[in-house]
């Protein structure tokens, strides 16, 4: 599986014309568009495979400089539409800057992929390089931005059980391997048609790259279990809706709070009338009370009255002041008898949203940076609330994209996971569906029910097998009441944590090192200006 036997003919003056020169750049951009199209809300997860097959054709045997440029085009084709929601209310400049930054990461990864295509069994090494690139993007800069991880587009795919085996890194690796393997299989078939030769080891390797991920996913199916190991709990997810879309949605902060209190009180009336089942506990979304109930007596009273009406512990998303110049994005466990009894402060806070790094530079892209007058500070404690005897792990909105956030809550005893979120800032964009898919993947990864209460939708109840049991519409008040299975066993992915990602990263580094050594040896053998080197 080396480029030595590549059957492509040398370019002629006719085939090297302008249309031919544009073919590969156009294919690179198209490969990125296919990756984007495989993400929700479209049920087209399988498009990721021809997307990577096409990217494999684009990068195979390319010089590194060309690979960087082609990778950048692919990254832009992927990230520009995927992250369009980031400019929903602040204009195109921040969106374009973020998409370009993420595309640069992909371009660097594609440079490495082109290098390892010179190795035997290159799809394996290339998939490892892509997964390493995702790991880097998820950590730097400013704590990383994992959005666009290939695993998050696979919430409905046949590969999803691999999340329970090795988490999102293994899921991404397997999908990318299968895509690159498809191109290698096609390339081998073309070689056979032009030469009549069948290099058995290479053909077997190409087939393995396609089949092993599929077989591994099928073999992992027994790890996906939605049985109730610890009984069940009846949970209510409240979606109160917001008075307006966009960044100013919480300009009427009292209206947002009143909406959620009102819908909770309505649920209490429905329970009394026998129209709804009495929940064991209630979940409100992130930012359901942007009025600090510790400082604002009116807000405290509104929350307390609603919680007393429903009569069960309720988790309230609030903004809590931390000193005179900083805030915390806090989830508060509110008891109907004792009031606030426990808190969880969001640990992964959003750069350029909840805090403003490099404010002077950011102002160059958008004056909206000055809307962030008081910055949020991250918490440090893992959030697991005891809600009427059920241990519920707390993962706030943006944190669902980070592997450690959900895993930590499960390791600290969480029998189910809650992801209170606020997507009102992003209007009716695809953002809420992309984030919902993350929660589906987390459900399978850790074998836990996941409940997602959102201010404006889409709220959802997800079973441990990743299926959505119930969901709300967008920008409409709702209350989802569902009985969910509780579980305490740990999946292999939960037990191993970052180990699969570390192993894949080491393989990627080894492949890149091997490719570098091979390239240096080839240069020595060619000698100066391509002449053969001295005999040894």
Q: Distance between CA atoms of 87 and 89, rounded to whole angstroms?
A: 6
H or E segment and range at residue 339: strand 339-345
Residue 209 dihedral angles phi and psi, to the nearest 5°: -60, -30
Q: Distance between CA atoms of 54 and 32, rounded to whole angstroms?
A: 9
Q: Which of 430, 351, 425, 445 is nearest to 139 (CA)?
A: 351
SS (H, E, C) 383-420: CEEEECCEEEEECCHHHHHCHHHHHHHHHCCCCEEECC
Query: Cβ(479)–Cβ(309) under 8 Å?
Result: no
Residue 252 makes CB contacts below 8 A (sequence gap 6+) with 243, 244
The residue from 88, 184, 286, 333 that is catalytic is 286
Q: Distance between CA atoms of 42 and 328, rounded to whole angstroms?
A: 35
SS (H, E, C) 430-480: CHHHHHHHHHHHHHHHHCCCEEECECCCCCEEECCCCCEEEECCCCCCEEE
The partner residues of 239 in beta bridges, in order of sequence, read 478
The partner residues of 478 in beta bridges, in order of sequence, read 239
Reply yes or no on whether 308 is catalytic: no
DSSP state of 11: P
Q: Distance between CA atoms of 193 and 211, rounded to whole angstroms?
A: 22
What are the E-state strand segments in 165-261?
Answer: 232-239
DSSP state of 277: P
The residue from 178, 333, 346, 501 that is catalytic is 346
The full DSSP string for 97-111 is: HHHHHHHHHHHHHHH
Q: Distance between CA atoms of 400 and 436, rounded to whole angstroms?
A: 9
Q: Distance between CA atoms of 337 and 91, rounded to whole angstroms?
A: 46
Reply yes or no on whether 346 is catalytic: yes
For 256-295, letters b (16+ CB in 10 Å) and e give bbbbbbbbbbbbbeebeeeebebbbbbbbbbbbbbbbbee
The residue from 184, 354, 397, 399 that is catalytic is 397
The number of residues in the chain equals: 536
Q: Which of 166, 169, 129 is nearest to 150 (CA)?
A: 169
Reply yes or no on whether 286 is catalytic: yes
* Residue 338, SS3 per DSSP: coil
Q: Where do runs of H (alpha helix) occur along 196-275?
A: 200-219, 253-272
Q: Distance between CA atoms of 405 and 395, rounded to whole angstroms?
A: 6
Kindly list the catalytic residues.
Answer: 286, 346, 397
């Amino acid at each position: 599986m080396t480029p030595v036997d590549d059957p492509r003919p040398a370019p002629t003056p006719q085939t090297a014309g302008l249309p031919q020169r544009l073919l590969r750049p156009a294919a690179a951009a198209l490969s990125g568009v296919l990756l984007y199209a495989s993400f929700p809300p479209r049920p087209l997860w399988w498009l990721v495979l021809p997307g990577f097959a096409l990217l494999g054709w684009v990068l195979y045997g390319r010089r590194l400089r060309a690979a960087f440029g082609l990778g950048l085009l692919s990254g832009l084709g992927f990230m520009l539409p995927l992250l369009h929601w980031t400019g929903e209310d602040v204009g195109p400049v921040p969106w374009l800057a973020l998409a370009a930054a993420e595309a640069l990461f992909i371009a660097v990864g594609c440079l490495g992929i082109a290098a390892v295509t010179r190795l035997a069994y290159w799809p394996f090494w290339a998939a490892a390089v892509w997964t390493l690139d995702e790991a880097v993007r998820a950590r730097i800069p400013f704590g990383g931005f994992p959005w666009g991880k290939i695993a998050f587009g696979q919430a409905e795919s046949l590969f999803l059980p691999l999340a329970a085996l090795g988490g999102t890194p293994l899921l991404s690796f397997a999908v990318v391997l299968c895509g690159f393997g498809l191109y290698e299989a096609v390339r081998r078939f073309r070689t056979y048609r032009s030469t009549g030769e069948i290099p058995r080891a290479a053909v077997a390797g190409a087939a393995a790259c396609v089949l092993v991920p599929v077989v591994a996913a099928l073999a992992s199916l027994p790890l996906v279990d939605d049985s109730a190991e610890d009984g069940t709990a009846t949970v209510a997810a409240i979606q109160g809706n917001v008075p307006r879309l966009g960044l100013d949605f919480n300009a009427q902060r009292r209206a947002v709070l009143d909406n959620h209190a009102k819908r909770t009180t309505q649920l209490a009336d429905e329970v009394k009338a026998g129209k709804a089942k009495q929940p064991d506990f209630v979940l409100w979304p992130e930012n359901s009370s942007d009025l600090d109930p510790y400082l604002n007596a009116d807000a405290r009273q509104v929350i307390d009255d609603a919680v007393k009406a429903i009569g069960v512990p309720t988790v309230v998303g609030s903004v809590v002041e931390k000193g005179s110049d900083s805030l915390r994005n806090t989830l508060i466990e509110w008891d109907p008898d004792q009031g606030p009894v426990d808190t969880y402060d969001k640990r992964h806070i959003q750069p350029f949203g909840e805090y403003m790094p490099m404010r002077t530079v950011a102002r160059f892209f958008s004056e909206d940076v000055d809307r962030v007058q008081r910055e949020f500070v991250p918490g440090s404690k893992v959030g697991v609330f005891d809600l009427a005897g059920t241990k519920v792990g707390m993962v706030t909105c943006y944190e669902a994209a980070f592997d450690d956030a959900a895993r930590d809550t499960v390791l600290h005893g969480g029998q189910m996971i809650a992801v209170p979120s606020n997507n009102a800032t992003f209007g009716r964009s695809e953002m809420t569906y992309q984030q919902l898919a993350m929660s589906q993947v987390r459900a399978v990864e850790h074998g836990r029910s996941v409940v997602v209460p959102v201010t404006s939708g889409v709220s959802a109840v997800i079973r441990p097998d990743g299926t959505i049991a119930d969901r709300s519409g967008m920008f409409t008040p709702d209350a989802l009441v569902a009985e969910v299975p509780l579980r305490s066993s740990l999946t292999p992915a939960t037990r191993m944590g970052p180990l699969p990602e570390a192993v894949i990263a080491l393989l990627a580094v080894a492949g890149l090192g091997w490719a570098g050594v091979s390239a240096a040896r080839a240069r020595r053998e060619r000698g100066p200006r391509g002449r053969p080197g001295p005999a040894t």
